[in-house]
Amino acid sequence: LLLLCYTEEEAVIVSGLKNTDVFVGESATFTCELSHPGVKNVQWWLDGSPLQNNCVTEISEQDGIIHTLTLNDVACHDSGTVTFRAGSLISTAKLLVKGISLLE
What is the pLDDT confidence band of residue 15, given thresholds at 50, 70 and 90? very high
Torsion of Cα atoms, 56 then 37 then 35 then 40, to 10°: 70
Q: Which is it for strands 49-50 and 57-62: parallel, antiparallel or unpaired?
A: unpaired
End-to-end CA distance of the chain: 74
Give this prediction's pTM: 0.86
What are the tens digits of pLDDT across the range 23-44? 999 999 999 999 989 888 999 9
Looking at CATH, the fold of the domain delimited by 13-98 is given as: Immunoglobulin-like (2.60.40)
What are the tens digits of pLDDT across the range 50-81? 999 999 999 999 999 999 999 999 999 999 99
**CB-CB contact of 24 with 101 (8 Å):** no
d(C-alpha 37, C-alpha 51), whole Å: 21
- The CA distances from residue 101 to 13, 28, 77, 93, 104, in Å, are 38, 19, 16, 25, 10
Domain boundaries, the chain: 13-98
